[in-house]
A and B are shown apart, each in its own frame.
Chain A
Amino acid sequence: MLAVLKRELKAYFLSPVGYIFMGFFLVISGLFFALLNLLPGSANYIGVLANITFIFLFVVPILTMRLMSEDQRLKTDQLLLTSPLSITGLVLGKYLAAVGVFFLTLVITGLYPLVIKIHGLLAVGEVIGGYIGFLLLGSVFIAIGLFISATTENQVAAAFTTFGCLLLIWFLNWVQQIVPKEAIAGAVFTALLILGVMALVYKAIRNWLVCLIPAVLGVGAVVATYILRQEVFYGLIPAFFARFSLLQRFNSFAMGIFDLSAVIYYLSFSAFFIFLTVRLIEKKRWG
């Protein structure tokens, strides 16, 4: 894993990718620092972090597009997968390299709060908490990009798909405000979700009976619950989307709250996508 991590870190700076990422990130964050802190003379640095989360939409695809896809294009995956190196080690090495470059960039932006510290009052604890949240949020996006990069050998396709997915996550914030809150909508949504999951299971195992029974039972349970206790479904759709709204969790960090559940939420989200990437590579061997 260490060897892969080292090579990937080096690769970022042997190609323009690392510099483009860092440059873009530092220009945008510097701009916001100047606009929100320096010019108005404000010491609220955490506001800058909260304001620049949109930056991930543009920089994460740059960082992750070549991670897994390049090895498929160069056929170097034949070297990596035939060497005594575990797939988990390989994926983790690549992931940590991308997170490492991101972390390095964040360390440089640490100069901004330092400037505030010298010339004014800085809420140190709040800023550190904010940085941890920011790093975790970025790591989740990188994990998503890593997974998408493993699905294709075309870097451009990987970059655009990652951008699209992050944009979708971005929109979830607003989507949850406009989706219907009514109980009947919640019930229909739950029933569709059950049917959708069972359809996926059917596609995988091709067994009618095993899929049909839980589907019928599930939908029946939804109908029964709706008749008996309608209020369960009230506001269910917004709540569901809120679960997947990565950005919303960052708000507590931005408000200066160190939310342990959010930390675990982010870590498990990253772990899930790393796991998916490992499985995807393993599956390719059987294809």
Chain B
Amino acid sequence: MIQIKDLTKRYGQHLAVDHLNFSVDKGEILGFLGPNGAGKSTTMNIITGYLSATEGSVTIDGLDLIDHPMEVKRKIGYLPEFPPLYPEMTVSEYLNFVAEIKKVTPAEKKESLEKIMDLVKIGDVRGRLIKNLSKGYKQRVGLAQALVGNPTILILDEPTVGLDPRQIMEMRTLIKELGKEHTVVLSSHILPEVSAVCERVIIINKGKIVASDSPENLSKRLTGGSHLLLRVAGPETEVVSKLTKVAGVSSVRVKGEREPGTVDVVVEADAEEDIRRSLFFALSEAQLPILLMKAEDLTLEEIFLQLITEEEVAS
């Protein structure tokens, strides 16, 4: 659906995007992750045709962006970081204007605008001036704007920034809903958001792709073997000595006492071996009840920091 080849953007001496290569399949929800200034917005601005790349190509549905700008732009709905709204217009005036510049035929305009306003829930503010709307509503009008013209691809730049927690939840649900019918690329520097919504994540730093995988795989890949967090009721020394004797355990790390009379330990297993059963039997034999056992995946924050640090060490 989207194919990015050797995409580079240079501002004078500054390299904002450095030979990016990736593709997005039809129907996928791709998360674009990176700290501020990593080149996320620049990349999105290039894909949507707002900026031109210094080098490289963007192909949408087999059509090159440079050769067929009009056809490509029809296929893309874009919600930039700051929703592009005219404050002195009402919501419905604004959406009508957007429909006109996106060449929606008058016959389908009314119906499709109604559908969009229903979907993003802005029907009740349609007659209000945009400048009087709250940030959450403005963001939704921005999203509505991106949906006008029924584009197959949605590019959303930080769609939840500046929203309150409830609105963030609603926006995420909405994006997931949209992902059923559209190919979605969304960017964020808030990591849990991406793992909540996206099927695949591209992590980008200083204009380069650092990693690209599903949130779960990324987590697995970085932790090496499998890590288990256990909370065991009993004295620390005894727990540790019992655990180290279990076959397949390569290391035991004490995390401290979270609940009185218990100890939290992280147990690392050799390679792919599942040691949960043997851990259970070993500890129950010693009369040490396991109160909690869960796989300890790295959160995206940790992945992110780890990747960025690896990168810095390597260079």
**A interface residues (Cβ-Cβ under 8 A, vs B):** 2-4, 6-7, 10-11, 14-15, 74-86, 285-287
Contact = CB atoms under 8 A, between A and B. Distances in A.
B44 to A, nearest CB: 10
Interface residues of B, number: 29
Given A74-B87, A82-B78, A84-B73, A285 B101 contact: no
Contact of A11 (B78, B86, B98, B102): B86
Interface of B: 11, 45, 48-52, 70-71, 73-74, 76, 78, 80, 82, 84-89, 93, 97-98, 100-103, 145
Q: Which of B45, B71, B88, B101 has the most CB of A within 10 A?
A: B101
Contacts of A83: 73, 98, 101-102
A8 to B, nearest CB: 10
A3 B50 contact: no
Contact of B88 (A14, A82, A85): A14
Contacts of A75: 80, 82, 84
Given A3-B101, A84-B103, A85-B101, A78 B88 contact: no
27 contacts: A3-B100, A3-B101, A10-B93, A11-B86, A14-B88, A74-B87, A76-B85, A78-B45, A78-B50, A78-B78, A78-B82, A79-B78, A79-B80, A79-B84, A79-B98, A79-B145, A81-B50, A82-B49, A82-B76, A83-B73, A84-B70, A84-B71, A84-B73, A84-B102, A84-B103, A285-B50, A285-B51
A78 B44 CA distance: 11
Give the top 7 A-B pairs by smallest Cβ distance, nearest first. Answer: A3-B100, A79-B84, A76-B84, A82-B48, A78-B80, A84-B73, A14-B88
Contacts, number: 70
Nearest to B73: A84
Contacts of A15: 88
A79 B48 CA distance: 10
Q: Which of A75, A78, A81, A85 has the most CB of B within 10 A?
A: A78
Given A74-B84, A74-B85, A76-B85, A7 B73 contact: no
Contacts of B45: 78
A11 B87 CA distance: 10
